[in-house]
C-alpha cells in the first residue's frame, strides 16, 4: 500500500506521540526504584506485567515502534533523493539545528540501545525468568552496578534527548499544531520534555551506580 508523503508524516507523528507518552509512563515507574522500599517498584512492575490491558498494549507499543522506525527510514531516504542540488542541502544544513540534522543517526543509535535494553529486561523477565530470590527491582538495580552499562545507558538517553527535541516539535506540526502563536509554547515544551526524559533516566542510572558503594 502506497501512502503520500503527508500521510506518512502523519502516521510517523502519531506513532511518535504514542511513544512520547510511553516514555513518560516508563520514567515514572522507574523513578520508583529511587525510593527505599523495593515493593513500590515491584508492585508496579507486577501490575504492568499482569494487567490484561497493559499486556495487550505491549503489542500496540511494538507495532508503534516498527511503524515509527519504518516511516522514519523511508522519509529519510526520500528526502535525500529529493535533494538533487547541493545548494538545497547546504541551505537546509544552515537553517536547521543539530537535532533535526541528526534524526536518522540519533534514531539509529536509539534503536540499537532499545534492542540491548529489551534483551536485558524484557527478554530476561518474559522468557528466561529471574533467578530464585531475585525481584524485578534487583534486576534493574544490579545492571547499573556495571560502569560500562551505566555509561552506555546515560549516553543513549542523552542522544535520545536530541532525537526527542526535534521529534516532539515535528509531531505536533504534522498533526496541524503549527501556528506562530503556539509554536514558541510547543518549542519550549519540546525542550522541557526532552531534558526531563534524558535527565530523568540518566539520574536513575547514576544514582544506583553510586549507591552500590554505600558511602553513608
CATH of the domain at 62: 1.20.1300
Place of cell 532525537: 163
User: Nearest to residue 160, comparing CAs of 121, 195, 207?
Assistant: 195
Q: What pLDDT is attached to residue 89? A: 46
Given pLDDT bands bounded at 50, 70 and 90, which one contains residue 35?
Answer: very high
Which of the two residues, 188 and 16, has the higher pLDDT score?
188
| Domain assignment present for 19 | yes
- Identify the weakest region by mean pLDDT among 19-23, 39-43, 68-72, 184-188: 68-72
Distance CA 190, CA 90 (A): 25
Q: Are 165 and 191 in contact (CB under 8 A)?
A: yes
Distance CA 107, CA 99 (A): 11
| Domain assignment present for 113 | yes
| Domain assignment present for 216 | no
Handedness of CA 90, 96, 100, 105 (dihedral sign): positive
| Domain assignment present for 85 | yes
Q: What pLDDT is attached to residue 160? A: 87
| Domain assignment present for 10 | yes
- Identify the weakest region by mean pLDDT among 27-31, 164-168, 173-177: 173-177
pLDDT (tens digit, 9 = 90+) per residue, 90-113? 444 455 566 666 676 777 777 777
Q: Are 171 and 20 in contact (CB under 8 A)?
A: yes
Domains of the chain: total: 1
Q: What pLDDT is attached to residue 16? A: 76
Averaged pLDDT for residues 193-214: 93
| Domain assignment present for 58 | yes
Distance CA 64, CA 121 (A): 19
Distance CA 216, CA 204 (A): 18
Domain of residue 82 covers 5-211
Q: Are 11 and 17 in contact (CB under 8 A)?
A: no
Amino acid at each position: 500500500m502506497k501512502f503520500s508523503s503527508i500521510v506518512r508524516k502523519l502516521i510517523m507523528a502519531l506513532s511518535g506521540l504514542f511513544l512520547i507518552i510511553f516514555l513518560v509512563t516508563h520514567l515514572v515507574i522507574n523513578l520508583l526504584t529511587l525510593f527505599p522500599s523495593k515493593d513500590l517498584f515491584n508492585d508496579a512492575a507486577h501490575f504492568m506485567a499482569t494487567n490484561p490491558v497493559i499486556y495487550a498494549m505491549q503489542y500496540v507499543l511494538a507495532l508503534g515502534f516498527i511503524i515509527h522506525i519504518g516511516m522514519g527510514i523511508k522519509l529519510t531516504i526520500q528526502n535525500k533523493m529529493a535533494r538533487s542540488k547541493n545548494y538545497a542541502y547546504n541551505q537546509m544544513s544552515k537553517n536547521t539545528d543539530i537535532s533535526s540534522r541528526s534524526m536518522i543517526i540519533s534514531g539509529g543509535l536509539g534503536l540499537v540501545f532499545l534492542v540491548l535494553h529489551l534483551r536485558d529486561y524484557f527478554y530476561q523477565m518474559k522468557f528466561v525468568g529471574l533467578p530464585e530470590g531475585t525481584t524485578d527491582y534487583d534486576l534493574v538495580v544490579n545492571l547499573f552496578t556495571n560502569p560500562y552499562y551505566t555509561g552506555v545507558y546515560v549516553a543513549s538517553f542523552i542522544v535520545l534527548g536530541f532525537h526527542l527535541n526535534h521529534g516532539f516539535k515535528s509531531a505536533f506540526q504534522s498533526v496541524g499544531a503549527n501556528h506562530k502563536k503556539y509554536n514558541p509554547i510547543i518549542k519550549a515544551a519540546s525542550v522541557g520534555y526532552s531534558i526531563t526524559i534524558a535527565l530523568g533516566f540518566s539520574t536513575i542510572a547514576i544514582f544506583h551506580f553510586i549507591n552500590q558503594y554505600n558511602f553513608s
